[in-house]
Amino acid sequence: MFSVYDWLELTSLGELVFVGLGLDNEEGISLHGLDEAKTADKIFVELYTSIMPSLSLDRLEKLCGRNLILLQRKDVEELNGKALFDTAQNGKVVLLVPGDPLVATTHNILRTEAAKRDIATRVVHGASAISAIVGLSGLHCYKFGKIVTIPFPTETSAETPYRVIAENKKLGAHTLCLLDIEVESKRYLSVAEGLQALLDIEQKRRRKVVDLDSLAVVVARAGSNDAFIKADFVRDLFRVDFGKPPFSILFPNRLHFTEAEALIVLASAPQQIRSLIE
């Protein structure tokens, strides 16, 4: 059976354009992205997949020259993106997303759903926190294994990040651990909590994956003008004040000499880390 609804879908002239907001504040958007927003019939913005600490919705609206519709998680996850798709059937919808839009799995699901409705989709990429953190750390991006998040201890244990670090270590790869964020309540896992969660598992497993003598690099506020990078042994990182979130912790494996040099000069790592040069 071929319904009017099918016909409407097949002849959709609309499109849904995902535009990355990049990092930190409204000025992280690209010229291309802003241009897409300015020519949209409706602009939605979501701020539930990630936090942009210095973003002002007012300033973003001024840049775009029109009202922004704030999308809630339930609009996508419960109402299946209806608000977006209703307009995108016949018009141009821009969805503004923190960072690089498709890093959040949920937006690839939305992209799939749009395509099923015969709505064209395009993506204007933005700077991603993951790429920024890896770059700022001074470590080589080709040497990273799987990325992992250290969750709040109340929710699940740190068994998964511990296992991922162990697996990467076996392959000689570095690990990037993102620290969990509860976007709605702006609750963050601290660096000390993240480290302690891993040490607690080490205590049980004793596999020498992360201990007090492990080298780690903390990157705070990647993408902002006061990004902070500090490399040190775990025991000494407990004493550092990293300022405001968001935070990430990187566990390097054997180092290239330019990585060791970068950690010493840019992240004030102790000279002893030279012993980790491969």
* The two three-digit tokens of residue 87, written as one number: 């307009």
The helix (run of H) or strand (run of E) holding residue 113 is helix 105-116
Query: Taking CA 53 as the corner, what is the angle to CA 222 and CA 162, rounded to the nearest 5 degrees?
Result: 50
| 148 touches a second copy (CB under 8 A) | yes
Applying CB under 8 A, the span of 64-72, 88-96, 256-264, 270-278 interacting with a second copy comes to: 256-264
Using the contact rule CB under 8 A, the part of the chain among 39-47, 76-84, 138-146, 208-216 near a second copy is 138-146
Nearer to a second copy, 156 or 258 (CB): 258
Query: Min. distance of Cβ 168 from a second copy in angstroms?
Result: 8
Q: Is 10 one of the binding residues for a second copy (CB under 8 A)?
A: no
User: Is residue 173 within 8 Å of residue 143, measured between CB atoms?
Assistant: yes
**Which contacts (CB < 8 Å, 24+ apart) does range 129-133 have?**
129/23, 129/50, 129/99, 129/178, 129/222, 129/223, 129/246, 129/248, 130/103, 130/176, 130/178, 131/100, 132/23, 132/222, 132/223, 132/227, 133/176, 133/219, 133/222, 133/248, 133/250
Q: What angle do CA 191, 51, 138 make, to 5 degrees?
A: 55
| Short-list 56, 59, 82, CA closest to 71 | 82
Least separation in angstroms between CB 133 and a second copy? 10
Q: Does 245 bind a second copy (CB under 8 A)?
A: no
Q: Measured from the CB atom, is 110 or 234 closer to a second copy?
A: 110
Q: In the stretch 18-37, what mask flags binding to a second copy with x, by CB under 8 A? A: --x-xxxxxxxxxxx-xx--
CA–CA dist 226, 161 (Å, integer): 27
Q: How far out from the chain centre does Cα 96 lie? A: 15
From 115-123, 188-196, 200-208, 233-241, give the range in contact with a second copy by CB under 8 A: 115-123
**Residue 34 C-beta: closest distance to a second copy, Å:** 7
The window from 40-48, 83-91, 181-189, 218-226 that contacts a second copy (CB under 8 A) reads 218-226
Q: How far apart are CA 166 and CA 205, in angstroms?
A: 11
Subset of 35-64 contacting a second copy (CB under 8 A): 35, 63
Short-list 30, 20, 27, 45, CA closest to 95: 45
Count residues binding a second copy (CB under 8 A).
61
Binding of residue 171 to a second copy (CB under 8 A): yes
Q: Give the interface segment with a second copy, choosing from 80-88, 130-138, 196-204, 231-239 (CB under 8 A).
A: 130-138
User: What residue ranges bind a second copy (CB under 8 A)?
Assistant: 20, 22-32, 34-35, 63, 100-103, 105, 108-109, 111-112, 115-116, 122-123, 125-128, 130-132, 134-136, 138, 140-149, 167, 171, 173, 222-223, 225, 227, 258, 261-262, 265-266
